[in-house]
Amino acid sequence: MSTLDDKTLAELREIAGRYPEKRSGLLPMLHLVQSVQGKVTPEAIEACAEVLDISAAEVSGVATFYTMYKRHGVGDFHVGVCTNTLCAVMGGDAIFARLKEHLDVGNDEVAEKREGDQHTVSLEHVECNAACDYAPVVMVNWEFMDNQTPDGAVEMVEALRTGQEVTSTRGPRLCTWREAERVLAGFPDGRVDEGPAAGPASLAGLEIAREKGWTAPSAPVAETPAVAAPEKGEAQ
């Protein structure tokens, strides 16, 4: 029997009901339990399996496949440094090394909370964040922090630890890990339009196209094949 409260169980059923095949709701359901418990617990796995009428092994297989689902707690602010090829050569490896040293943690670990800190911070190296035009990129609770440097990344995590407001480069003010997980579960926090959605680097191609008058080619219109009228006496 799950130890999740009635409100969370009702929301799990609500998520499952959004889909023609309710098992399609598993990913946002796992985000929801992380918003409540801070990680995917055995109890949460059992609860998801029960709601979806699938086995706990199937739920666990998904929860352990994707790195965004945690089987251990993370910080109030989970910092992910892209160390894929482009970000790495642009400085991502140096940022990750500097933050590991500064926070005194390894990969996917939570830094010790110091006296006077308001929040905890965890650190992880992540694969491509699909923001190569802003390399090197850091994400905090899945929000973009673009064009980072080792010194800038240290200043950012210190601001987060001490409770200062930090705004993502292309998005809203940063919320906590659990708050972000609830949004990913499909329960909006009302801040979807806060902050810019794109920046100059992402729009460079569009600006060039406008200057040169380029437009995308029109999709060809499929012609309906002509059907000959039946001859007199033929079956209709």
Domains of the chain: 6-65 (1.10.10), 77-175 (3.40.30.10)
Mean local confidence (pLDDT), 184-194: 92
User: Which pLDDT does position 192 carry in this prediction?
Assistant: 86
What are the Cα distances from residue 146, in Å, to 92, 97, 193, 200?
11, 18, 19, 12
Give the least confident one: 25-34, 102-111, 193-202: 193-202
Residue corresponding to tokens 């098992």: 23
Question: Looking at residue 224, what is its pLDDT?
Answer: 67
> Given a cut of 90, is residue 235 above it in pLDDT?
no
- Summarize the confidence of residues 194-219 as an average pLDDT: 88
Full-model pTM: 0.85
- What confidence score (pLDDT) does residue 229 get? 59
Which tokens go with 95?
A: 């940022």
Please give the average per-residue pLDDT across 3-19, as a whole number: 95
Bridge partners (DSSP) of residue 200 are: none
Starting at the edge strand that comes first in sequence, how are the strands of the sheet with 121-126 ordered?
109-110, 121-126, 77-82, 138-140, 143-145
Going by C-alpha positions, the residue among 28, 129, 9, 123 that lies closest to residue 77 is 123
pLDDT (average), residues 65-70: 95
Average pLDDT score over the chain: 92
Q: Which residue has the higher pLDDT, 108 or 196?
A: 108
Asked if the model's pLDDT at residue 2 lies above 50, the reply is: no
Task: Give 201's pLDDT tier (boundaries 50, 70, 90).
Answer: confident
* Tokens 């092994």, residue located: 57
The separation between CA 76 and the C-alpha centre of its own chain, rounded to angstroms, equals 15
CA–CA separation, 9 and 32 (whole Å):
10
Q: Give percent above pLDDT 90 in the chain.
A: 80
Cα(137)–Cα(38) distance, integer angstroms: 25
- Bridge-based pairing of strands 109-110 and 138-140 is unpaired
Task: Provide the pLDDT for residue 142.
Answer: 93
For residue 120, how many C-alpha atoms fall within 13 Å in the half-sphere facing its CB?
Answer: 14
Q: What is the 3-state secondary structure (H, E, C) of the chain?
A: CCCCCHHHHHHHHHHHCCCCCHHHHHHHHHHHHHHHHCCCCHHHHHHHHHHHCCCHHHHHHHHHHCCCCCCCCCCCEEEEEECCHHHHHHHHHHHHHHHHHHHCCCCCEECCCCCCCCCCEEEEEECCCCCHHHCCCEEECCEEECCCCHHHHHHHHHHHHCCCCCECCCCCECCCHHHHHHHHCCCCCCCCCCCCCCCHHHHHHHHHHHHHCCCCCCCCCCCCCCCCCCCCCCCC
Separation between Cα atoms, residue 112 and residue 201, nearest integer Å: 36
- Report the C-alpha gap between 59 and 41 in whole angstroms: 11
Q: Of 37, 29, 31, 38, whose CA–CA distance to 11 is shortest?
A: 29
